């Protein structure tokens, strides 16, 4: 591991919360696809399986920012443990309902409850921010976390699908729930690195989404599309549906590699132009997908496209840290993740319609158009994004944080 990454873990407790964060966010890539695999195997109803996965994603988009807002106000330990218990109870109900053939409405209720799962990635990034606020190491830390995200998306679906197909149908979601329980309870046991809550800053205050810069970031990622559904359909048309997971893993691997390199670079100047360039690069990288005619070329094109993702997300996290008050940092990070999840859900839905009507080749037109829309949103909101945010640092804030720690 390069020395800048080794230096990150010189801080006491950083290895522990990073390892807990890896376990705690594995369900992000395992639960949805695991439920789809489980339900399709038990019932043969792919429509129901997809609808339940969408229900979980929508519920997480609604509940996630609210859970993170409570975390900013009351602290990670006091909020994450009850929220995780709700999510785990709902996951257990979903497994029992699917196994014993309970009515469909019980599946939907449990799937919605699973959406209370906290954004573990945002919790870990908030801990890094508390450690390295205002230092170059924070850029490296955000880069490392983007790499961890991609590692989860490389191995998580493979593990989840493999267990559910080789062992028993409920195995994938069950392991995802175990990862969530171990990761969150291990993380919240580490009190020394937990960011201080800000109860006074939230009294009568609004959401972090009221920040103009954050609105631009979230809207841009809502406009982005998704390549997963189209890639599966394309591989199916080529007669190699099983290869879709490998091709998509290469997409994540490209992002992972770019994130590692990006974290080694020390940039000068404002991050806003880099962010806009990243959005443009993501959009342009979708164009070659319209021209590929076979899986090997698609794998190469997706690997290259993936290289635009992590640098853009790393820069996005840096912008959140600048445009959102520290008292709302966790919520701000979760809003961007929510925007991306909504964009993926909308893109997948639109791509499905196009694939049914015109085939998988035409399906790649959806992420291409989505990328163009994201660029347009980025340019339209650039002035708001580059507008200086109110100062949040200084002696007054530091005094307030110490006071709030004692009050809490």
The DSSP result for 207-270, as a single string, is -GGGSHHHHHHHHHHHT---SHHHHHHHHHHTT-GGGHHHHHHHHHHHHHHHHHHHTT----S-
Question: How confident is the model over 186-206, as pLDDT tens digits?
Answer: 999 998 888 888 776 555 556
Burial class of 291 by CB neighbour count within 10 A (0 to 12, 13 to 18, 19+): exposed
Give the C-alpha separation, 5 to 2, whole Å.
6
Three-state DSSP class for residue 118:
coil
Task: Please check the confidence at residue 397 and state whether its pLDDT lies above 60.
Answer: no
Question: How confident is the model over 228-284, as pLDDT tens digits?
Answer: 777 877 887 888 766 777 888 888 889 888 988 888 887 877 888 999 999 999 999
- Report pLDDT for 406: 28
Closest CA to 318 of 262, 401, 402, 395: 262
- Report pLDDT for 183: 94
Three-state DSSP class for residue 357:
helix
Confidence of residue 161 (pLDDT cuts 50, 70, 90): confident
Task: Please give the DSSP secondary-structure letter assigned to residue 289.
Answer: G
Mean pLDDT calculated for residue range 174-193: 93
Mean pLDDT calculated for residue range 297-304: 92
Question: How confident is the model over 91-140, as pLDDT tens digits?
Answer: 999 999 988 889 989 999 999 998 888 888 889 988 998 888 878 888 88
- The better pLDDT of the pair 22, 1 is held by 22
| Joined tokens for residue 303 | 């690997």
Q: Where does 115-136 have alpha helices with state H?
A: 120-132
Measured from the Cβ of residue 273, the count of other Cβ atoms closer than 10 Å reads 12
Mean pLDDT calculated for residue range 297-326: 87
- Report pLDDT for 401: 36
Please name each of the domains of the chain with its CATH number. 1-6+13-197 (1.20.1250.20), 215-408 (1.20.1250.20)
- Report pLDDT for 260: 84
Q: What is the largest CA-CA distance in the chain?
A: 64
Give the C-alpha separation, 183 to 51, whole Å.
27
| Joined tokens for residue 243 | 């290869």
Measured from the Cβ of residue 232, the count of other Cβ atoms closer than 10 Å reads 19
- What share of the chain has pLDDT > 90, as a percent? 21
């Amino acid at each position: 591991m390069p020395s800048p990454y080794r230096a990150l873990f010189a801080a006491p407790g950083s290895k522990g919360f990073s390892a807990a964060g890896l376990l705690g966010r594995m369900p992000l890539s395992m639960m949805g696809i695991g439920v789809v695999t489980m339900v399709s195997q038990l019932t043969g109803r792919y429509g129901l399986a997809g609808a339940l996965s969408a229900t979980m994603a929508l519920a997480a988009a609604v509940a996630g920012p609210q859970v993170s807002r409570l975390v900013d106000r009351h602290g990670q330990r006091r909020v994450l443990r009850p929220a995780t218990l709700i999510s785990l109870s709902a996951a257990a109900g979903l497994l029992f309902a699917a196994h014993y053939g309970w009515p469909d409405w019980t599946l939907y209720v449990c799937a919605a409850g699973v959406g209370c799962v906290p954004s573990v990635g945002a919790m870990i990034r908030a801990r890094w921010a508390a450690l390295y606020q205002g230092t170059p190491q924070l850029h490296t830390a955000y880069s490392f976390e983007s790499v961890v995200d991609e590692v989860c998306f490389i191995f998580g679906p493979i593990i989840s699908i493999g267990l559910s197909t080789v062992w028993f149908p409920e195995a994938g979601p069950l392991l995802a729930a175990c990862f969530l329980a171990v990761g969150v309870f291990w993380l919240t046991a580490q009190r020394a690195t937990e960011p201080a809550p800000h109860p006074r800053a939230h009294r009568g205050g609004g959401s972090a989404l009221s920040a103009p810069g954050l609105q631009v970031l979230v809207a841009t990622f809502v406009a982005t599309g998704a390549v997963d559904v189209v890639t599966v359909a394309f591989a199916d048309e080529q007669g190699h549906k099983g290869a879709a997971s490998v091709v998509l893993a290469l997409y994540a691997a490209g992002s992972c590699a770019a994130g590692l390199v990006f974290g080694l670079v020390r940039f000068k100047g404002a991050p806003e132009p880099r962010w806009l360039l990243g959005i443009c690069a993501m959009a342009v990288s979708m164009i070659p997908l319209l021209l590929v005619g076979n899986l090997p070329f698609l794998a190469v094109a997706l690997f290259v496209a993936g290289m635009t993702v992590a640098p853009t997300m790393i820069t996005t996290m840096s912008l959140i840290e600048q445009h959102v008050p520290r008292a709302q940092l966790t919520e701000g990070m979760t809003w961007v993740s929510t925007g991306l999840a909504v964009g993926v859900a909308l893109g997948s839905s639109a791509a499905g319609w196009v694939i049914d009507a015109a085939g998988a080749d035409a399906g790649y037109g959806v992420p291409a158009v989505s990328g163009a829309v994201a660029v347009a949103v980025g340019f339209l909101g650039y002035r708001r994004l580059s507008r200086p945010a109110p100062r949040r640092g200084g002696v007054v804030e530091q005094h307030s944080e110490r006071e709030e720690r004692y009050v809490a």
